[in-house]
Structure 1
Amino acid sequence: MQSDDNDAYPVDLQLQPDGKLVVTGPQRSENTYIDFALVRYTATGALDPTFGKGGKVVTPVGSGASSDRAAALQVQRDGKLVVAGTTNNSFKPTGDDFAVVRYTAAGVLDPRFGTGGKVITPVGAGSSDDTATALQVQPDGKLIVAGYTIKSDSTGYDFAVVRYTTGGALDTSFGKGGKVVTPVGVGGSNDVANAVQVQPDGKIVLAGLAGRDVALVRYTAAGALDTGFGKGGKVVTPIGPGDSRDVAFALQVQPDGKLVVAGSTDGGTTGDDFALLRYTATGTLDPTFGKGGKVITPVGLGASSDQAAALRVQPDGKLVAAGTASQDTGTPGFYFSLVRYRADGTLDTSFGRGGKVVTPVAGGARVDALRALQVQRDGKLVVAGYVNGGTSGSDFALVRYWP
């Protein structure tokens, strides 16, 4: 999705039961405002003319010259679409707030949700910056939005999670008035939640980073820290050697209750690599996965920057991590990349070349950044991201692969 040199950056992709594909992300217009953008495609990849205007919906969320950055998308059981992200208001500089918008199946703002389909929620105290990064719909229809908020002393960030009723009101049975803020690392560390999952038992798991390490936090269904998980509900895991920067961007709950996260680790002179970790249901690293629960995979060529942004567990138990890999040899650039692993964390050599697939989407020395992944019922893999050719701006891009 791009026109008139506007920039669009897809961040999430969902499959509808009818096979249609919905993508969301922030859209920057010529006047530099940023709005929520939503695009729906048919199962064959064409824009769906029954959705919005020619398959596209662009929504300003905050008032005035606000910066509205969509971050996550979910499809409800009734076909309605929910987008979560962040908004601010240039006329009232009170910091960034969580923003949730719900649409009908046709792409119209849902008047039954919040105010005219929109809900804006300040999370931290005062004029704090609150950033929403992830969204899940509970089986009862309540909405879980996760992200982070600046610490009260402005020394870093804390994990933040908010639960809403089906109508968009804060769920006062969760945390403190519907909100939970959790410091994870030591001192003034930056604790950033990038992913959220709701377990079948109703417990809520967030994954991201604390300082320079991967971090997970699990809550009870009421928003209290789950003391049966890790240390007081928290798990912090270094991956690479020394002071490497290790971060989780994606999280999945396996049918057996184990938790798998995907992200990246700093390999030093070799650049960043894909990183996967698997934990038992109690938060300990799973010794049956990789090396002590960890798998590190270089994907690109040379001193590449490889970052897994999405993760899916296939019905056969195999894991697919998807993201972006670069190369500093040949034609330098960043490319869509997928890696498939067996259930024990070894590379699935039946997939691509030695378990890896690297795809230049637009060709040439461009920036192709993959952000989302889904597995279709027929086993095909669909990914979404953006391509940036420089002067032409950034476009939504989807690619589908055979299983």
Structure 2
Amino acid sequence: MSGVGGDDEHIWRLAVQKDGKIVAAGHVATAAGGEDFAVARYLPDGRLDRSFNSSGSLPGTVVTDIEGGRDQLRDITLGTRGRIVAAGSATLPAVRGGTSFTVARYLRDGSLDPSFGSGEPRPGVVVTPMAANDDLDLAESVVIDRHDRILAGGSADADGRFDLALARYRPDGSLDRRFGDAGKVLANVGPGSTDEDLAGLALQPDGRILAGGSTAATEFAVDGDFLLARFRDDGTLDRGFGRGGFVITRTAPGEADDEIFDIALQMPNRLVAAGECDQPATGRDVCLARYLVSP
């Protein structure tokens, strides 16, 4: 994504359209020290697609400033009619939610979709505070279900410890109030106060939601273990999955750190998790695990 923003430009996710065009998404630094969402589209031969944001200052790319702060785009998925759905987080002013889940939807030509979040301050962008007291919410993954609803997943700071966090939106960008608590779900593994990190989402054919990441007794990235959780279509934990809705896999010895970075359904009843495991002899190694996720 060279030349889009300031000194720092990060690509976090790629997607390939049916016509072979490549969508790259991430965030770029701003001159004022913040960061903005950034999406670029390339032709199959690697050239920038100049029909994407054709009237912009750099055709082929779109940069979206949410509210002037630190906006980090972490995942994208391709929707119907060539639309691109992006999820990440944006930093809002005090008493307005702090760093919050942010979902943006772009039309085929790269413009923001005004029918998504039409009542929001900036149509095309929906910002959702998940944690109380302006604490930190980090959306890391986004998927679209068979009803064209958008599910964003990540983590929310709950009094100094992070919980798994999910938000589901109707096709118009409004929260789906039949999901969880008026559209939102926070889940903690426990017992007691544990630290959870959600890194990837997958949807089973029956609508159940699989979330992969890590759980730690003290702090994820320090003593974490692989974590897989399953939720029903209404946002409640599937208590028949694993132990009370969760599966925890310790792949490294002792209190070393294991983290899932992404998950994918291999078949309707198998899921592959990829991440890293801290080994005494070799340090952090690439680690794969496969789970049976049948009913």
The equivalences for 1:33-72 within 5 A come to none
Per the normalisation by structure 2, the TM-score is 0.90
Partners of 1:300 and 1:306 within 8 A in 2: no
2:215 corresponds to 1:333: no
Task: Give the corresponding residue for 2:176.
Answer: 286
Deviations 1:297-338 (A, max 9, x none): 002544322010000111010000100110149xx8210001
Q: Whole-Å Cα distance in 2 between the matches of residues 214 and 183 of structure 1? A: 14
Matched, 1:352 2:242: yes
Question: Are 1:161 and 2:42 an aligned pair?
Answer: no
Q: CA deviation at 1:164?
A: 0.2
Letter in 1 for 2:107: T
Q: Deviations over 1:158-193 (max 9, x none)?
A: 0000000011100000013100000013x3x10000
Q: Which secondary structure does the structure 1 equivalent of 2:82 belong to?
A: coil
Q: Corresponding residue for 1:147? A: 26
Alpha-carbon distance between aligned partners in 1 of 2:218 and 2:74, rounded to the nearest angstrom: 28
Deviation at 1:260, TM superposition (A): 0.2
Aligned-residue identity in percent: 38
Q: Give the whole-Å Cα distance in 1 for the aligned partners of 2:283 and 2:191.
A: 26
Aligned partners of 1:142 and 1:385: how far apart in 2? 28
Residue 94 of structure 2 is matched in structure 1 by: none
* Residue 267 (structure 1) shift: 0.5
CA deviation after TM superposition for structure 1 residue 350, in Å: 1.6
Aligned to 1:182: 64
**2:262 is matched with which residue?**
372
Separation of aligned partners in 2, 1:305 and 1:162: 34
Structure 2 vs 1, CA of residues 356 and 222 (structure 1 numbering), >3 Å: closer, same or farther?
same
Unaligned runs of 5+ residues in structure 2 are 92-98
Amino acid at match of 1:249: E
Residue type of the partner of 1:315?
P
Matches within 5 A, 1:318-329: 318-328=208-218
Structure 1 counterpart of 2:76: 196
Q: Identify the residue that residue 137 of structure 1 maps to in structure 2.
A: 16
Whether the aligned pair in 1 keeps the contact of 2:205 and 2:268 (CA below 8 Å) is no
Aligned to 1:205: 85
Higher relative contact order (CA 8 A, sep 6+): 1
Partner of residue 4, structure 2: 123
Letter of the structure 1 residue corresponding to residue 154 of structure 2: G
How many residues get paired?
A: 276
State the SS of the aligned residue for 1:333.
coil
Greater Cα radius of gyration, structure 1 or 2: 1
Of residues 277, 295, 319, the one that matches 2:167 is 277
**What is the one-letter code of the residue matched to 2:61?**
K
TM-score using structure 1 length: 0.66
Gap runs ≥5 in structure 1: 1-97, 99-120
Between the aligned partners of 1:347 and 1:361, the Cα distance in structure 2 is 24
Q: 1:282-309 CA distances to partner (integer Å, 9 max, x unpaired)? A: 1110001000000000025443220100
Distance 1:390 1:303 in 2: 28
| Partner deviation per Cα, 1:52-97 (whole Å, 9 max, x = no partner) | xxxxxxxxxxxxxxxxxxxxxxxxxxxxxxxxxxxxxxxxxxxxxx
Residue 265 to residue 166, structure 1, CA distance change in 2 (3 Å) = same
Q: Is the 8 A contact 1:307 1:323 kept in 2?
A: yes
Structure 1's consecutive aligned runs of 4 or more residues displaced over 6 angstroms after TM superposition are none
